[in-house]
Structure 1
Amino acid sequence: MNTYDSLLATVSAQSGETREVFDPATGELIAEAPVNDVATLEAAIDKAEATQPSWAALSDEERIAYLHKAADAIEAAAEPLAELLSREQGKPLNGPNARFEVGGCVAWTRAAADTPLPVEVIVDDESGYAEMHYRPLGVVGAISPWNWPMMISIWQIAPSLRMGNTVVIKPAETTTLSVLALVAVMNEVLPEGVLNIVPGPGSTVGDALTRSPKISKIMFTGSTPVGKRIIEASAPNVTRLTLELGGNDAGIVLPDVDPAAIAEDLFWGAFINTGQTCAALKRLYVHDSVYDAVVSELAKVAAAVPMGVGLEEQNVLGPLQNRPQFDIVDRLVESAKASGARVVLGGDPDREAAGNFYPTTLVADIDPQQDLVLEEQFGPALPIIRYTDVDEAVRLANALEVGLGASVWSADRDAARKVAARLEAGTVWINSHGGLHPMIPFGGAKQSGYGREFGVMGLKSVAEPQVISG
C-alpha cells in the first residue's frame, strides 16, 4: 500500500542530475527531483515504440480493463497522491483542489475507458458500403503543465492508451514529483513500456520530444508562445497536434441578474486553483445598472474564503505555484493601481514571505485597455470592467487573440444564449464558468489552440481515421 513517504521515496532522485523541490506555501525543501537528458528521452521513445504493437494488438476490451485497473490504483493511493500534489503544487487538500484533482484523475480515466467508439457505417445503400474505423497512431508525446499536473496528464494519457497508443510524457519542471508519482502508481498495473515518463527541461527534453520523428502525436497544454514553438518544431514530421493554449477568458454579466445569487459561482469561476487555471474567468464585464452590487457581493464572498498552507484542512485557496508567476500577478496589479483603478480587496502581498501567497484581489473601475485586462494574469486577481451596451461588451470580449472559454450571466437563459453565440471561444458557459465534463469536448478557438479533448472527440483525436470501403 502506498503512503506519502513511500511514494516520495519512489519518485525522488537518488543520483544523477537533480533539482530541488520546495513547497510553494512554506519554502520548505520537499525532495530532489530527477532531471533527465535527451539520451534518456530517446531511450524512452524507443521503448514506447517497441511496446506499441503488442499494446495495440490487445482487444479494446483488454485495454479498457487495464485502464480500470489504473483508475483503481489511483483511487487506492488517493490520499498520498493528494498530499504530494499539495506540497509540490501548493493547492490545498480541500475545496476544488488536491483531493478533487486526484478524484478527477480517477473519473477521467474511467470515462476514457468506458466511452463507446463503435465502427461507424458511413454509406450502406445501392451506391456502396463504407465504414469508418479508428486505428492507433503509434507513440503519443504528452507535455503537461504545472497548474493541474496530475489531471491534465490523465487527459493526455488515458485516451491515448485506450486507443492503442503508447505514451511518453514530460511533466512540467516545477511539478515533476506529482506526475512521477501518478505514473508510478499507474505502472503498478500497466504492462511495462506502455506509459513512460521523462522529466527534464523544456528547452532540451521537451524540444527533442516535439522534434522526434518517432512521435506520432503531441498533446500539449501550456502557453501560446510555447505552443507556436511546438508547431514549428513538429512541422517537418507532420506530427499530429492537440494544443490547449493560453486563455484570457471573459465573462459578461447582463443587467437582469441577482448579484447575490451569482456571486459565489462568479468567485469560483475566477479563483478556482487560486486563479491558476487556463479556463478560469480572468476579466469580468458587468452592466452599469448592477455593477456596484455585483462588485459588493463578489467582495463579500472573496473576503470569506480562507487562503493558506494547503495541508491545513480549513484552507481552500493556496499560494501561486512559483515565484515567476507571483511576479507576473504583482506587476499587473501594480500597473492597474498606477492607472487609477480601484482595489476593492487585496492587492497588498507580503513580498518578503517564504511562500508565494498573493492575496485574493478584486480590481474595479479599470480601463478595458489596461494591462491587467489584456494580459492573462493566471493568478488570484480579477479585473471588473463596467459597460453600458452589450454590443460593446461583446466587442471587448472578442478583441483579444485568444478564445479558450467565456461565460454569460443572466436570469434569462435564452437571452444569455444569444449573447453566447456571438462570443469567439471554444466553450461558452451560461451562469457558470470553467466547469468541465469528461464527455463534453473541450478546446480553444483562435490562438488558444486547436483540437478537442474528452468524450468521443477526444478518443478520435488520438487515433487515425481509416475508411474501409467496398
Structure 2
Amino acid sequence: MSDPTADLTTAAPEDDLLRRIQATGDGGREVVDAATRTPIGYAPVQTPDELEQAIARARAAQPGWEERGHAERSRLLNAAADAIDAHAEALARLLSREQGKPLNGPNARFEVGACSAWLRTAAATPLEPEIVVDDGTTRAELTYRAIGVVGAIGPWNWPLMITIWQIAAALRMGNTAIVKPSEYTTLSVLALVSVLNDVLPADVLIAVAGDREIGERLAAHPSIGKIMFTGSTRTGRKIVESSAENLARLTLELGGNDAGIVLPSADPKAIAQDLFWGAFINTGQTCAALKRLYVHDSLHDEVVAALAEVAAAMPMGNGLDERSVLGPLQNRAQFEIVSRLVDDAKANGGRVVTGGSPATQLGELFYPITLVTDVTDGVALVDEEQFGPALPIVRYSDVDDAVRSANRLDVGLGASVWGDRDEARRVATRIQAGTVWINSHGGVHPMIPFGGVKGSGYGLEFGVEGLKSVAVPHIVNG
C-alpha cells in the first residue's frame, strides 16, 4: 500500500474547472475529497424551477440541433472530444479527488480517455436507412429520427464515462440532453459538461445538479422523451414508476452480481491478473465487475493463491499518488455495506485470505482487497452485490451446479467463463446475462452492444443499437 503521507501539494490544474462550476459556500453543498475527507469545493443545489427552465431551453434548442444533420453533429462531437483531451489532466484530477479512484491504472486517466473515445465512435458510427421490403409492389424504408429531449441520470462510480455513454448517442441522433449527476460526484460531471459546452451550441446539453427530487421530476416530466439511467435496481424501479406518467422510453443499466466460473481447463497463473481486474477495477465499484467467483475443486487453491499474489502487488492509497492503483470506497454508505458483508461472511465460516478489515492507516473509507473462501450460495457476501473490494470464492465440483449458481439470482448484467475457449463458449450460452465474457470480465467496447437482463435492467447502449435506442423508428411505406 502506498504512503498516505506522500506530498500531494503540487499545482492543481483542476482549479480552473472548479472556478467555472462551483457554487458559493452559502448556495451549495460542500464536497469532500474521497481519500482525505477534506473539502474540495461546493456543488450547486438547483431547484425544481431551475429544472423546468433547463428542460424548456433544451426543448427549444432541439429542432435546430436536429436540423444540423448527422455530419455537422458528428463534427461537433469530435470537437467536443478534442476539448476533453485538452482538459484531460484537470478532469482526471478532479475525478480522482471527488470519486476516489487513482489517476493511474484502469482509473481516472483511463476514464477520461474513454470519454473522448466514445464520443468519437458515436460520431463515426453509420446508421443507414434500411429497405425492409422491396418486392416490386411495396417498398418500405426504415430510418431513425430524434426523440426530443433525453434525460440522463448518472451514477457515482464511473460518473464521467457513463455520462458520455448516456449522451453521446443521444446528441449524435439529434436529441438535446439534460444531465442529472449523482450527488456524490456532482463536480466532476459539471466540469465535463462545462468542457463540452465550450464547443456545443447553447442549450443542447444542460446539467442540473440537485437531490433525488430533481431525478424524480426529470423522469416524470412530460417534455422528456427518453430516460437513460445507470444505478441501483431499487432506484431503477422508481424511475419506471415515474416514467409511466409520460411514457418516456427507458434504458436502464441496473445493479449486477456478476458470476465468474473457472473451468478445470483454466491456467490459474495465466488468468490471475485478468481475474483480479475483472473483480477489483475501480476498487470493485463497478456494475459489471466480477462479484462472485465459482472455481472448480481441482483448481480452487491455486486460483486463490494466484489472486492473493496479484493483490499483494497492487498499491492502494490516495488517488493523486502516482503509485496508487486502488483507492477508497467513495462514500460512507458503500463502505458500511462492504464491511457488513465481510463481517457476515466471517461469522458464517468464511475464511479471509487477504484483507478482511478496514485499512484505517490509509484513511477513513479505505478497505483492502479482501478474498473470502469457504463460503457458499446463501451467504450474504455471495447473494448480495457488495460493490467494493471483497470477492467470495466458491468451490464447485460439477459445471452444471456452477451454471445453476450463476443463474439463481435475479440479476444478469454480466458473467464470465474461464478456461478452454471452446468449452467456455459452450458454458457461456447457458448463462443468463446480457454479456458473457470468455477469459476476461467487464471489458466494454464502443461498438459492442451492452445491457442487462432480469433485475439488471433493459435496453442496449453502444454501437448501432445504442444509436437506435435514443431514436424513434420512422417507416415510409409505399
Would you say same fold, with TM above 0.5?
A: yes
SS of match in other structure, 1:402: coil
Q: Is the aligned partner of 1:175 residue 2:175?
A: no
Equivalent residue, structure 2, for 1:284: 293
Distance 1:20 1:37 in 2: 17
> What is the CA-CA distance between 1:405 and the residue it aligns to?
0.1
Identity among equivalent pairs (%): 65
Corresponding residue to 1:145 among 155, 166, 170: 155
1:65-113 per-position Cα deviation (integer Å, ceiling 9, x unaligned)? 0101100000000000000000000000000000000000000000000
Distance 2:190 2:380 in 1: 36
Distance 2:364 2:96 in 1: 13
Q: Is the aligned partner of 1:156 residue 2:166?
A: yes
1:172-200 per-position Cα deviation (integer Å, ceiling 9, x unaligned)? 00100000000000000100000000010
Report the TM-score when normalising by structure 1.
Answer: 0.98
Equivalent residue, structure 2, for 1:51: 61
1:346-381 per-position Cα deviation (integer Å, ceiling 9, x unaligned)? 012145974310011000111221000000000000
Equivalent residue, structure 1, for 2:100: 90
1:56-455 equivalent positions in 2, closer than 5 A? 56-202=66-212, 204-350=213-359, 354-410=363-419, 412-455=420-463
Answer whether contact 2:183 2:211 (CA < 8 A) is retained.
Answer: yes
Distance 2:79 2:33 in 1: 31
Answer whether contact 2:34 2:329 (CA < 8 A) is retained.
Answer: yes
Answer whether contact 1:147 1:276 (CA < 8 A) is retained.
Answer: yes
Distance 1:127 1:363 in 2: 66
> What is the CA-CA distance between 1:302 and the residue it aligns to?
0.8
Distance 1:278 1:157 in 2: 19
Distance 1:350 1:73 in 2: 38
Distance 1:303 1:167 in 2: 44
Answer whether contact 2:115 2:161 (CA < 8 A) is retained.
Answer: yes
Answer whether contact 1:17 1:36 (CA < 8 A) is retained.
Answer: no
Give the length in aligned residue pairs. 467
> What is the CA-CA distance between 1:14 and the residue it aligns to?
2.4
- How large is the Cα RMSD of the aligned pairs? 1.1
Distance 1:271 1:3 in 2: 28
Q: Is the aligned partner of 1:34 residue 2:35?
A: no
Report the TM-score when normalising by structure 2.
Answer: 0.96
Distance 1:375 1:422 in 2: 22
> What is the CA-CA distance between 1:257 and the residue it aligns to?
1.0
* Unaligned 5+ runs, structure 1: none
Distance 1:262 1:124 in 2: 50
Distance 2:364 2:159 in 1: 20
SS of match in other structure, 1:366: coil
1:384-425 per-position Cα deviation (integer Å, ceiling 9, x unaligned)? 000001100000100000000000001x21111110000000
> What is the CA-CA distance between 1:127 and the residue it aligns to?
3.3
Q: Is the aligned partner of 1:464 residue 2:472?
A: yes
1:216-255 per-position Cα deviation (integer Å, ceiling 9, x unaligned)? 0000000000000000111121110000000000000001
Change (3 A) 1:441 1:213: same
* Unaligned 5+ runs, structure 2: 1-11
Equivalent residue, structure 1, for 2:8: none
